[in-house]
Amino acid sequence: MVFFLIASPRLCVFAFKLSHSLQIRRRRIDILSEILSSKVNMAKKYDESTVKSLDALSHIRLRSGMYIGRLGDGSHADDGIYVMLKEVIDNSVDEFIMRHGSKIEVDLDEKTSKVSVRDYGRGIPLGKVIECVSQINTGAKYNDDVFQFSVGLNGVGTKAVNALSSHFLVKSVREGEFVEAKFSRGILKDKKKGKTKEPDGTYVEFIPDTEIFKKFRFQKELITKRLWHYAYLNTGLTLLFNGETIRSEHGLLDLLNEEVKDDRLYEPLHYTGKMLEFAFLHSSSYGETYFSFVNGQYTQDGGAHLSAFREGILKGVNEFAKKNFQGVDVREGIVGAILVKVKDPVFESQTKNKLSNNEIRGPIVQEVKEAVQDLLYKFPESGKKILDRILFNEKLRKELAAVKKEAKDKQKKISFKIPKLRDCKYHFGDGTKEGERSMIFLTEGESASASIVMTRDPLSQAVFSLRGKPLNVHGMKLDQLYKNEEMFNLMSALNIEDDLANLRYGKVVLATDADVDGMHIRNLLTTFFLTYFEGLVLNGHLYILQTPLFKVRNKEKTLYCYSIEEKDEAVKALKKGVEITRFKGLGEISPEEFKQFIAKDIRLIPVTISNLSDVKPTLEFYMGKNTPERKNFIMTNLKGDEWTT
């Protein structure tokens, strides 16, 4: 049976129009596809015209991070402006190491941000002054007869300082003659030479370029600490900073005496060899803390020399005691410092935070082992106190074993994964660029973490959500790490139970609300790390996330402000129809807005330790049981906030 459908004329017209409309739409889609395809092909085009060659100066300015690491704003010791200063001072210290000049003068003009360094060494050869500060891979440090144990071997340091400075001046004096050259952003502006009565040496001054460093300020305290490191590592060297004398007579022994003034179980043991110096002691604190150096360079992330030092101490103690103690028992509570002199040091980056020369491990282990044995025989009382601490650590570890097992079994029953952790793909130390910039945000509650989870970079940003306020662990024993589920999960997320070297994220970021409760949580978390994992803070891994306090907007523009001063400036700039919003919680900021605050322009405040000996009294005052004293301090120093409700 066959059916025929006879359409009305009106329906036929409608069908025709619909068909025509669909044809037009298809044609538009085809045209759009062709355009997109054309653009993609243009973007993928790769021929001679797409290849660019940059001169050294342009490359330094374009890729400054390759030469000085992070730019920063001067709030952290590793920010670019301090790396620039270090590069200049390194050259002066190298002169001292080669026994030429025992005084270095450093001056800072805080108003203009101009820094100057004057040494009294041999001075740069007058015919090569301009080349030595402007041409990459130019310098005498490639010549072992002139410099044997210098830090700056890459021929890059001073050239990078020159290229990244709006003003750079170098003056070399040798045997009554001088050559002076003035640069701006690496380009020579003026030069002169002549006779002089000044003593031999080199003078360098520079002002970091605001085109590169948008907003920065030198902090005198950070410069002073860096100069003290130079003094500890170069006994007999005198440094003058704005007139203040900085000098050490006993090297790393002075460093430990300054860093650990009270909480020590015995006096530091100190050894000085031809290529190696070290000192160590035990305190009643948890964890291990080290200051490691190579040729005068502070290696924040350690490396081959530090791992060899740790192994050498273990072997030396075991030989002395005729025992087979475990490393964790020997090193728990240790504070140590090591300096090695390496002829051809290999670092993992231009900023030289980690040594890679694995061939030095064997000799260092052997020398440390023998030196530790000799020191313990020489100071038997110290040896006895070390053994007492080791036995205490061993007993504590065994007592904790049952608690650890219970905590891990409990976690497995809940989930094979760590609860409340949204992990990232790459991790710190995995050799990838994403891993190097990895970070984990510690947030308060699900609502606060929601915005970060939705807007984070899943390749390098992880999120761990806390359930309200964490425990105040000040004065508590190590077993609290395992009895408290929140703290155990946090330790597991960071992977630092056995060794801080296993840290999975380069930055641990405290992301709390900008109110009183948020500040309290921030203090509780800082106390947690300073109590159980002091080295994590000391090595510069702990940060505080800055989010805007105010949103100031009108119909044309929106500005985000991080302080009352910025808010007042924004109100003046926008003039009319201004609306002000005060952010108190992270959950109040929409994901669309929040993304920009944790992306390229993220603002992080580093949590730093000025002096190890200040940690315990500071925690005792602010987090201890002295409530009346603390309340009196708060009432005396309380300041009003017009935006507090």
Give the span between the Cα atoms of 454 and 390, in whole angstroms.
47
Domain that holds residue 209: 62-246
AA identity, residue 586: L
Q: What global pTM score does this model have?
A: 0.74
How many residues are listed for the chain in this entry?
Answer: 645
609 lies in some domain: yes
pLDDT of residue 156: 62
- Lowest mean per-residue pLDDT among 88-92, 425-429, 463-467, 608-612: 608-612
554 lies in some domain: no
Q: How confident is the model at residue 643 (pLDDT cuts 50, 70, 90)?
A: very low
Whichever domain contains 271, its CATH number is 3.30.230.10
Among 194, 219, 246, residue at a domain's last position = 246
Domain identity same for 257 and 176: no
pLDDT tens for 224-280 read 999 999 999 999 999 999 999 999 999 999 999 998 888 889 999 999 998 999 999
Give the span between the Cα atoms of 248 and 193, in whole angstroms.
37
Asked whether the predicted pLDDT for residue 34 surpasses 80, the reply is no
Domain identity same for 337 and 482: no
Domain identity same for 265 and 216: no
Among 230, 246, 262, residue at a domain's last position = 246
Average pLDDT, the chain: 83
Domain identity same for 240 and 256: no
Whichever domain contains 112, its CATH number is 3.30.565.10
pLDDT tens for 321-338 read 999 999 999 999 999 999
**Closest CA relative to residue 218, chosen from 83, 88, 63, 105:** 83
Provide CB contacts within 8 A for 199, sequence distance 6+: 120, 173
Domain identity same for 178 and 109: yes
18 lies in some domain: no
Give the span between the Cα atoms of 499 and 132, in whole angstroms.
43
57 lies in some domain: no
263 lies in some domain: yes
Domain identity same for 214 and 289: no
Domain identity same for 159 and 177: yes
29 lies in some domain: no
Domain identity same for 368 and 463: no
Q: What angle do CA 53, 54, 58 make, to 5 degrees?
A: 170
pLDDT of residue 543: 94
pLDDT tens for 140-163 read 554 444 434 554 444 468 888 999
Whichever domain contains 466, its CATH number is 3.40.50.670
Asked whether the predicted pLDDT for residue 593 surpasses 90, the reply is no
**In 228-315, beta strands by DSSP E:** 238-241, 244-246, 269-272, 276-282, 289-294, 297-298
Domain identity same for 260 and 356: yes
Give the span between the Cα atoms of 93 and 75, in whole angstroms.
25
pLDDT of residue 15: 44
Domain identity same for 194 and 275: no
Domain identity same for 156 and 81: yes
575 lies in some domain: no
Among 223, 246, 269, residue at a domain's last position = 246
Structural domains counted in the chain: 3
pLDDT tens for 23-32 read 545 555 554 5
Domain identity same for 441 and 360: no
Burial of 403 (0-12, 13-18, 19+ CB in 10 A): middle
514 lies in some domain: yes
